Amino acid sequence: MTVTLPDGARREIPAGTPAGRLLEEALGPKRAKRLVLARVDGELRDLAAPLHDGAAVEGVFAGDEAALETLRHTAAHVLAQAVQELFPGTKLGIGPAIENGFYYDFDRETPFTPEDLERIEERMAEIIRAGEPVTRRDLSMDEARRFFAGRGEAYKLELLDDLAREGHESVSVYEQGGFADLCRGPHLPHTGHVAAVRLLHTAGAYWRGDEKRPMLQRIYGTAFFDAKALKRHLKHLEEARKRDHRRLGKELDLFSIQDEVGPGLILWHPRGAALRRAIEDFWREEHRRRGYGMLFTPHIARRDLWKTSGHLDFYAESMYAPMEIDEVRYQIKPMNCPFHIAVYNSRRRSYRELPLRWCELGTVYRYERTGTLHGLMRVRGFTQDDAHVFCRPDQLEGEIDAILDMTLYMLRVFGFDRYDIYLSTRPEKYVGTEDNWERATGALRSALERRGLAFEVDPGEGVFYGPKIDIKIRDCLDRSWQCSTIQVDFNLPERFEVRYAGEDSRPHAPIMIHRALLGSLERFIGVLIEHYAGAFPLWLAPVQCRVLTVTDRHDAWAAEVAERLTAAGFRAETDLRNEKLGRKIRDAQVEKVPYMLVVGDRETADRTVSPRRHKGETLEALSLDEFVSLLETECRRPFTEAAAA
């Protein structure tokens, strides 16, 4: 048979030749040492994978970004091998590679301890040093069932049953040493390529993510091709731990999640509420300035509303059980869009009224499994910064342009100027016509291209009613967070018979644009906390100024200063405790208050304040008017800089 190498050279080789053998001959001994995978017709394959006639083949080497996921997948198998050798009788769950690492789930009665992790990591190092070959076997379903039944792997048997129901007639098993796992691969050729590995922590994980199933023990780890990369990553993880919004939320007294209330439900404390209020006030004013009207809608409605919208067909598993009121089934709302459509349909509309732009900070409720809840990032009740635009076809591109402009401006104000943009296209399950989907996708694509914004196409990731633009912001640690989304919808207006009277006096269906700029306030605030490590810019800080007295004879002037600052619209408080000034300063720094105003004999006599910034910089004494002017200038700066960008 004939295959093609990366340089375009064509080679005739015996049928069934492994990819690795061909590449080793083509590359030479020196380069072949770093060879870990083959890319065959664009897909990663084991080096032992037999080639087919006409294949395009290239090598993937240790250290290549493309090989990292496979490295971590192999590391997960090394972890599982070490656990079963050290703790006989432990049953295997699943062990995938994930972003920046891997995990494996185990069924073992005794919890893993930190000392156990050390032992496991030591055994993994031995397996890696041994460079044990990783080999693949293809088995029929019956062979695979006998194989894993003989090893007592009940969870693997369940996975095999699922694969059989999907129509698979055979599966692959990967083995190294005495270890074997059900896996589709690919894998590195031997364990020695897992050069740098570290186990991180353990967690509980329900089997298949279902809290009604057994709770397994999950061991997380990370792996790299070299020790320097591992060291950099561990340093990054340590910085992320310091910024964890759950820890900072408690330390800064911003919010809490309490068992008495329920998991995934957020209690905003006064300081967290002040932060949220600053965000909401900016959000509302910016929407008013750009021509949006504010809506308020109920938290429940007749369940038939979501039957008409189609959400019951696509998202029922994320909706809470209905309640019965006056023998009618009601639903706690999982999204706001049907309400906004109801407002539109409350009277006849003319083409002259369009576009109609309506927004709402609407709290919605969605069922999330207990094991997936994570602080503010994944909750059961959250507030969407939701908006819907109803427009004519000739207005569509202009409205998308305006939404993009608003989105990027608001993200810059919050300090996010790096992001990745994705254009998500039609999924397998969708409603509406292909023509409408093409029109909607084309409008989104054109808007991005007109602004010169780089984007990637994300095939099949649109929502059931239309394509969308997703913007994922990057924080100071270069982590990616999904926030903004813009979705074009030709379908819900049809399902709800949304119409306007056109110039021809005939009824026409408007186009509906769904959009959220921040996503959910809960998640966005969690991202903000971690991005700024709790040290928010002045305009966002829950407490912007704290007045610190040297002795109690300065209390009256301190109270007057705080009152004046509050009257000027700033969030100020006093610290009148009978403590040393150094203690008061340290406490304010720990609480990340942007400005500490020291008030002593001189300040009281001169009716001034001596500002000290959070990072330790001390300013000269200022009059109150001068200090208020300084605060106003600093609060305006993010907005003027965002507008100028």
Q: Any idea which residues carry the catalytic annotation?
A: 337, 366, 384, 386, 388, 468, 514
- Residues 476, 482, 484, 488, CA torsion sign: positive
Which residue from 585, 575, 635, 587 is spatially nearest to 611, judged by alpha carbons? Answer: 585
Give the angle 226-232-236 at the CA atoms, nearest 5°: 140
Question: DSSP assignment of 300-314, as one string?
Answer: EEETHHHHHHTHHHH
Is residue 469 within 8 Å of 448, Cβ to Cβ? yes
Which residue from 192, 154, 180 is spatially nearest to 75, judged by alpha carbons? Answer: 192
Is residue 245 within 8 Å of 375, Cβ to Cβ? yes
Give the burial class of 285: count Cβ atoms within 10 A of its Cβ; 0-12 exposed, 13-18 middle, 19 or more buried: exposed
Which residue from 445, 467, 443, 440 is spatially nearest to 456, judged by alpha carbons? Answer: 445
- What angle do the packed helices 141-150 and 154-165 form, to 10 degrees? 170
The annotation places the binding site at 337, 388, 514
Q: Report how far Cα 350 is from the mean position of its chain's Cα atoms.
A: 40
- List, in sequence order, the alpha helices (H) in 474-580: 492-495, 521-532, 555-567
The annotation places the binding site for Zn(2+) at 337, 388, 514
Q: Tell me the three state secondary structure of residue 43.
A: strand
Question: DSSP assignment of 352-399, as one string?
Answer: GG--EEEEEEEEEE----GGG-BTTTB-SEEEEEEEEEEE-GGGHHHH
Q: Compute the half-sphere exposure of residue 333: CA atoms within 13 Å on the CB side of its CA.
A: 19
Count of residues in the chain? 645
Q: Compute the half-sphere exposure of residue 122: CA atoms within 13 Å on the CB side of its CA.
A: 7
Query: What Å distances lie between residue 26 and 7, 22, 47, 340, CA to CA?
Result: 11, 6, 14, 63
d(CA 255, CA 245): 10
d(CA 200, CA 218): 11
d(CA 198, CA 233): 10
Which residue from 100, 60, 412, 57 is spatially nearest to 230, judged by alpha carbons? Answer: 100
Could you tell me the two tokens for 130? 């041994």
